[in-house]
Amino acid sequence: MKVLVADVFEASGLAGLAACGCEVDSRPELEGEALAAAIRESGAQILIVRSTRVTAPMLDAGRLALVVRAGAGVNTIDVAAASARGVYVANCPGQNSIAVAELTMGLLLALDRRIPDAVADLRAGRWNKKEYGRARGLHGQVLGVLGLGSIGCETIRRAAAFGMPVVAWSRRFDGADRPLTDDEIAALGLEAAAARVSIRLAPSPAEVAARCDALTIHLALGPETRGLVGAEVLARLAPGAMLINTARGEVVDAEALAAAAREKGLRLGLDVFAREPAGGTGEFTDPIVALPDVYGTHHVGASTDQAQEAIAAEAVRIVRTYAERGRVPNCVNLAGRTPATHRMVVRHRNRPGVLAHVFERLRADGINVHETENVVFDGAEAATATIHLHGAPSAATVEAIRAGHDAILDLRLVAL
């Protein structure tokens, strides 16, 4: 199986792909038309990327059957176009959670203790102990967390070690205004954190902002989260509050954030921005970084050696599973529920031509098959096929299927 790696990828990952028996073509500089040409010329069935954009023309260029994003999101991939072409899209969620949580805590500490400013003054030959000896400290400050996915939970575990009570909002608990239950704490893996500090749910992002001293954002980017942290939410933050964004720049209304920083003296720790250079290097002109008490990093939340090794290992696992079993772990574009209206269950002897007979009769009746699973019993003498149909076959078709092949043992049709 041919794999085209069109982005920076760990050496351990390349070795792992080769160990799977894959023919690996690693060209991390590819993008745009050059990438489309490489897909066409290489005949690759699998494409692995990190930040490189994957577009519909690229999906049309060759024989791709699987695109793997060696990272947590898939916002750089045209998932709708992949779905329309029957191309699997998978990602590597959770592998960088600890790295992003560590940077979140680093930015919180940097803001509270003004570490970058202190370093700059020392390098400029200025000693000012009185100025930098003033800090509130994180212990006892309430941390507001937007998003209780793996990164949000890893952040809570670390914040709890600093003695920071937590108030959180998550779409899975939308509208809740209460402490987490014991079962919810266990499901999120937050038992140790809850033993140290209180963890409470708020009914909205605005309520989290109103109740916290520092707000950290851990939301995936989507239509419902784009610009979610806007003027209404920012207005509820106390003057001088801290805000950390290590998620996506587009989750925050950039203009509203800059206005709130100026008017309320918010202290910002930003790893992501609304206007980032397309590549790894380039000119950066976002004016928000010129504001006082704004510290920034270069969208590097996931960029630790540990995280990249873990992501590479997960990407290799996805490819290996697909090559060996035809299944795709972490696939993001399979239908949760097909639009099927009926399910046909055919119990049959495991003989050639049985399913071809079933499908031919359905085709003749104009019935489309959405999904099929054929399970073979021990000994390989018999099997059961479960077929999801878009429409109900006629009684005559059902009878023709049942009586038209001597290997069919039973047939049931169920309306969904």
Answer whether residue 284 shows pLDDT above 90.
yes
The predicted structure's pLDDT at residue 327: 93
Assess if residue 138 is contained within a domain.
yes
Assess if residue 384 is contained within a domain.
yes
276 shares a domain with 132: yes
Q: What is the mean pLDDT of residues 28-53?
A: 95
Q: Work out the pLDDT band at 297, boundaries 50, 70, 90.
A: very high
Residue-wise over 167-189: b if at least 16 C-beta within 10 A, else e?
A: bbbbeebeebeeebeeebbeebe
Assess if residue 203 is contained within a domain.
yes
Assess if residue 361 is contained within a domain.
yes
The predicted structure's pLDDT at residue 369: 95
146 shares a domain with 221: yes
Domain count, the chain: 3
Residue 295: give the domain boundaries: 97-301
> Hey, how many other C-beta atoms are within 10 angstroms of the C-beta on 79?
17
Answer whether residue 301 shows pLDDT above 90.
yes
245 shares a domain with 114: yes
CATH of the domain at 356: 3.30.70.260
Q: What is the mean pLDDT of residues 347-363?
A: 96
Residue whose token pair is 């400013």: 117
Mean pLDDT of the chain: 95
Q: Work out the pLDDT band at 278, boundaries 50, 70, 90.
A: confident
189 shares a domain with 103: yes
316 shares a domain with 282: no
Q: What is the mean pLDDT of residues 396-414?
A: 95
229 shares a domain with 112: yes
Q: What is the mean pLDDT of residues 275-281?
A: 81
The predicted structure's pLDDT at residue 6: 96
103 shares a domain with 56: no
**Residue 265 contacts by C-beta under 8 Å, 6 or more apart in sequence?**
239, 240, 292, 293
Alpha helices in 217-353 (DSSP H): 231-235, 254-264, 305-325
Answer whether residue 110 shows pLDDT above 80.
yes
226 shares a domain with 164: yes
Instruction: Convert the pLDDT of each residue in 57-99 to its tens digit.
Output: 999 999 999 999 998 879 899 999 999 999 999 999 989 999 9
Assess if residue 330 is contained within a domain.
no
Instruction: Convert the pLDDT of each residue in 149-192 to its tens digit.
Output: 999 999 999 999 999 999 999 999 988 999 999 999 999 999 99
Q: Would strands 23-26 and 242-245 be described as parallel, antiparallel, or unpaired?
A: unpaired
Beta strands in 178-280 (DSSP E): 178-179, 199-201, 214-217, 242-245, 267-270
The predicted structure's pLDDT at residue 217: 98
Instruction: Convert the pLDDT of each residue in 10-34 to its tens digit.
Output: 999 999 999 999 999 999 999 999 9
Long-range CB contacts (< 8 A, 24+ apart) of 379-383?
380/350, 381/349, 381/350, 382/347, 382/348, 382/349, 382/350, 382/409, 383/347, 383/348, 383/349, 383/350
Instruction: Convert the pLDDT of each residue in 313-329 to its tens digit.
Output: 999 999 999 999 999 99
Assess if residue 331 is contained within a domain.
no
Rounded Cα distance, 199 and 221, in Å: 24
Which percentage of the chain shows pLDDT scores above 70?
A: 100
152 shares a domain with 22: no
The predicted structure's pLDDT at residue 275: 86
Assess if residue 333 is contained within a domain.
no
CATH of the domain at 82: 3.40.50.720
205 shares a domain with 101: yes
**Do 402 and 346 meet the contact criterion of CB atoms below 8 Å apart?**
no
Please give the positions annotated as active site: 248, 276, 299
Answer whether residue 279 shows pLDDT above 80.
no
**CA angle centred on 137, ends 239 and 109, rounded to 5°:** 90
Residue-wise over 349-386: b if at least 16 C-beta within 10 A, else e?
A: eeeeebbebbbebbeebebebeeeeeeeeeeeebbebe
203 shares a domain with 215: yes
183 shares a domain with 199: yes
Assess if residue 335 is contained within a domain.
no
Of 100-109, 277-286, 356-365, 386-395, the least confident: 277-286
